[in-house]
Homo-oligomer: A and B are copies of this chain.
Amino acid sequence: MPRNSRPPTIQNQLLAALPGTEYKRLLPHLEPVPLPFMEVLYESGEPITHVYFPNDGLISLLVVMADETPREVGLIGNEGMFGIPVVLGMNATPLRALIQMPGSALRMKAEALRDELKRGSALQKVLQRYSHALFTQVSQSAACISSHAVDKRLSRWLVMTHDRAPGDEFAMKHEFMAMMLGVTRSVVTRAAGHLQNKKMISYTRGQVTILDRRRLEATACECYAVVKTEYGRKAHTWGT
């Protein structure tokens, strides 16, 4: 599937979940934009001017500590969107959004989203349920960080990233993973070394390849499954 032709299907899962008529109504407000690698999509405290529905690529939600150290608390791929605060009636958040894997998105002016939400549309329901799923993801991260060893957390993070990657290979250096996991680089090198020895992944100079997804998932902590289940649920059960 060529990347720069018009996509035959709606890649973003939230938009794909909308009734056709509603999607058509939204279309004029959806502007395709690239998600450039390592760009700060949104900076903590700024007004949120646009919300983003990724087609592909990966957005990290970061808490930036007083000493400027970032800590990843959430991941957003094409299963979600950036801009939940707008859905919840706010126009800013203390988080930072960083593009961790390049891709593209459909973006929409925050104002247009607010108008659409006022109509009590299907979009509102979809986005609210997504908010819940994202909340679950962040909660589980909080618990995970304090409970699970780096090896397991690294595996989980790789699996989650893999879920949102276009293939089995993606650009990712130890330095960056260390930042996301909140540990030092040498710890990641050691943990990643183990995974490579066991032939679950391979990597060289910033290119990671997932070799054995099944075993990697088995190595990851339970938190992966918990969050995945909850994301699945947003479309089905537990709903109103």
Contacts and interface: CB of A to CB of B under 8 A. Distances in A.
A138 to B, nearest CB: 5
Contact of A143 (B73, B92, B93, B134): B73
Contact of A138 (B69, B135, B239): B135
Nearest to A129: B89
A32 to B, nearest CB: 26
Interface in A192-240: 222, 226, 229-230, 233-234, 238-240
Given A132-B88, A132-B89, A222 B66 contact: yes
B71 A132 contact: no
A62 to B, nearest CB: 8
A189 interface: no
Given A73-B142, A73-B143, A182-B146, A129 B65 contact: no
Given A120-B120, A135-B135, A147-B65, A142 B94 contact: no
Contacts of A71: 142-143, 146-147
A90 B139 contact: no
A13 interface: no
A74 interface: yes
Contacts of A88: 128-129, 131-132, 135
Interface in A119-169: 120, 125, 128-129, 131-132, 134-136, 138-143, 145-147
A130 to B, nearest CB: 9
Nearest to A130: B88
A178 to B, nearest CB: 12
A233 to B, nearest CB: 8
B222 A91 contact: no
Contacts of A35: none
Nearest to A234: B90
A34 interface: no
A142 B63 contact: yes
A19 interface: no
Contacts of A129: 88-90
Given A89-B239, A138-B138, 7 more contacts: A65-B143, A84-B132, A84-B135, A85-B238, A90-B233, A135-B138, A138-B142
